[in-house]
């Protein structure tokens, strides 16, 4: 009987140990975190001024935009659908490297003073872009908590948003202070943005964006590992590749000329009551509005526009009759996209933004009858 009791106790001890191991993550998550107390306005200032903080780490971004893949915007939408793993080495705004790791692929982006290098491991190609890029779609670095957090803060108008404190949270081993931004503009789809940052450096460590009426964030990006050690020069040097590596060299002027070769046509100085924010920007591409109600208009070739229209319809988009054409709107809990055409101008467009459908309908109505005259 003693042997049996001894064996029973051993099993009980093992079972108890397993239960402890299983329960550790929830216990750690629920453990009180005491972050340095920082006034909300000062915390926001520190976040905005954190671009000079060097670091290296690993972050994961998870998005549930639920939008269909559309031409010209497929890379952007892919960033908002599913999980993206990001390894980053950041020395400063002009010297950094971000490796974007997806299932079966890896792309490294290297920023150096004066140029940017993109290395695609899957296609074994190195692309070097010299000088400023007049046209750039979002990439992996834009999803990193520091960059996304600072960008959101730069868009927030204190007169149309409120700030409130959030409970501290441990992120990548750091006791982070929390800040919630609640937009009060009725035309944005953003319900709230939650940010947690290192109170000492102001570096944003986790960002959660929730759409209006949503019960869970649509986009979450956070560090799993973070080290404030500055990266070495060697890790920031782009790869040269081997004998079979393809090399492409271009510059900002080449990109602009390539875009102009599509003959996109002009865009108006205002749309739907929203002023153009880049009056001397690239022909065929413009941003309108301000803050979180800013939206982008892209002129696309007609075959691309009609393809986008068909995909949007198949994805359950809502057809819209415009004064000078037709459109279809696809809406997620955060992002709104409109594909449309203009019969008078014989052009097709994509409109996209964190805005209510009414904003794009107004803009599309005016755009459908616009034939030229502005830059």
The pLDDT of 327-350, averaged and rounded, is: 90
Q: What's the pLDDT band for 31 if we cut at 50, 70, 90?
A: low
Q: What percent of the chain has pLDDT over 90?
A: 43
Contacts of 59 (CB under 8 A, 6+ apart): 85, 86, 88, 143, 144, 145, 221, 222, 223, 224
Q: What is the value of pTM for the model shown?
A: 0.81
What are the Cα distances from residue 86, in Å, to 58, 144, 158, 195, 222? 6, 8, 31, 18, 10
Which range has the top average pLDDT, 214-223, 235-244, 258-267, 283-292?
214-223
Q: Give the side-chain half-sphere CA count within 13 A for 209.
A: 24
Sorted by where each starts, the structural domains of the chain and their CATH numbers stand as: 40-235 (2.50.20.10), 262-367 (3.40.1000)
**What per-residue confidence (pLDDT) applies to 122?**
75
pLDDT at 103: 63
pLDDT at 47 over 70: yes
At 22 the pLDDT is 45
**CA–CA dist 8, 271 (Å, integer):** 76
Q: How confident is the model at residue 286 (pLDDT cuts 50, 70, 90)?
A: confident
* Residue 175 phi, psi dihedral angles, 5° rounding: -75, 100
With bands split at pLDDT 50, 70 and 90, how would you rate the model's confidence at 365?
Answer: very high
Which pLDDT value is given to residue 252? 54
Q: Which of 186, 110, 181, 104 is nearest to 141 (CA)?
A: 110
Please give the C-alpha separations between residue 39 and each of 48, 129, 157, 166, 178, in angstroms, as whole numbers: 14, 42, 18, 12, 11
Label residue 325 exposed, middle or buried (CB < 10 Å: 0-12, 13-18, 19+). Answer: buried
Dihedral through CA 139, CA 141, CA 144, CA 149, nearest 10? -90
The alpha-carbon radius of gyration of the chain (Å, integer) is 24
- Quick: pLDDT tens for 48-97: 999 999 999 999 998 776 666 655 555 555 666 678 889 999 999 999 99
Burial annotation 4-24 (CB, 10 A radius, 16+ → b, else e): eeeeeeeeeeeeeeeeeeeee
State the average pLDDT for the chain: 82
| Per-residue model confidence as pLDDT tens digits over 153-168 | 998 877 778 999 999 9
Q: What angle do CA 175, 177, 178 make, to 5 degrees?
A: 130
Collapse the DSSP code of 366 into the 3-class scheme (helix H, G, I; strand E, B; otherwise coil) and give the result.
helix
Alpha-carbon gap, residue 339 to 306, rounded angstroms = 8
Mean of the pLDDT values across residues 130-149?
75
Mean pLDDT check: name the lowest of 81-85, 144-148, 162-166, 319-323: 81-85
Strands 125-130, 246-251: pairing is: parallel
């Amino acid at each position: 009987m003693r042997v049996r009791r001894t064996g029973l106790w051993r099993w009980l001890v093992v079972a108890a140990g397993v239960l402890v191991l299983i329960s550790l993550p929830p216990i750690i998550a629920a453990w009180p975190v005491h972050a340095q107390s920082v006034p909300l306005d000062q915390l926001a200032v520190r976040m905005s001024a954190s671009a000079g903080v060097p670091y290296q780490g690993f972050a994961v971004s998870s998005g549930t935009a639920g939008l269909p893949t559309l031409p010209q915007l497929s890379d952007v939408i892919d960033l908002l659908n599913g999980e993206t793993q990001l390894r980053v080495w950041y020395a400063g705004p002009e010297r950094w490297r971000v490796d974007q790791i997806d299932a079966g692929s890896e792309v490294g982006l290297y920023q150096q003073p004066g140029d940017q290098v993109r290395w695609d491991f899957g296609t074994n190609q190195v692309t070097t872009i010299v000088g400023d890029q007049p046209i750039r779609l979002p990439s992996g670095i834009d999803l990193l908590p520091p960059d996304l957090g600072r960008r959101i803060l730069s868009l927030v108008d204190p007169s149309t948003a409120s700030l409130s404190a959030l409970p501290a949270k441990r992120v990548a081993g750091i006791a982070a202070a929390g800040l919630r931004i609640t937009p009060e503009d009725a035309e944005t789809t953003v319900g709230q943005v939650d940010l947690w940052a290192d109170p000492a450096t102001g570096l944003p460590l986790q960002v959660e964006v929730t759409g209006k009426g949503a019960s869970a964030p649509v986009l979450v990006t956070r560090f799993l590992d973070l080290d404030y050690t500055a990266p070495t020069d060697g890790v920031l040097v782009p790869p040269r590749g081997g004998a079979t590596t393809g090399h492409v060299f271009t510059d900002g002027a080449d990109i602009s000329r390539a875009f102009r070769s599509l003959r996109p046509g002009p865009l108006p100085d205002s749309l739907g009551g929203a002023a153009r924010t880049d009056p001397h920007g690239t022909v065929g591409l413009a941003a309108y509005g301000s803050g979180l109600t800013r939206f982008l208009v892209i002129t696309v070739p007609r075959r691309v526009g009609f393809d986008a229209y068909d995909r949007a319809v198949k994805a359950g988009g809502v057809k819209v009759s415009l004064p000078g054409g037709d459109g279809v709107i696809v809406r997620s809990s955060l992002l709104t996209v409109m594909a449309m055409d203009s019969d008078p101008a014989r052009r097709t467009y994509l409109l996209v933004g964190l805005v209510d459908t009414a904003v794009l309908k107004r803009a599309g109505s005016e755009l459908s009858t616009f034939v030229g005259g502005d830059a």
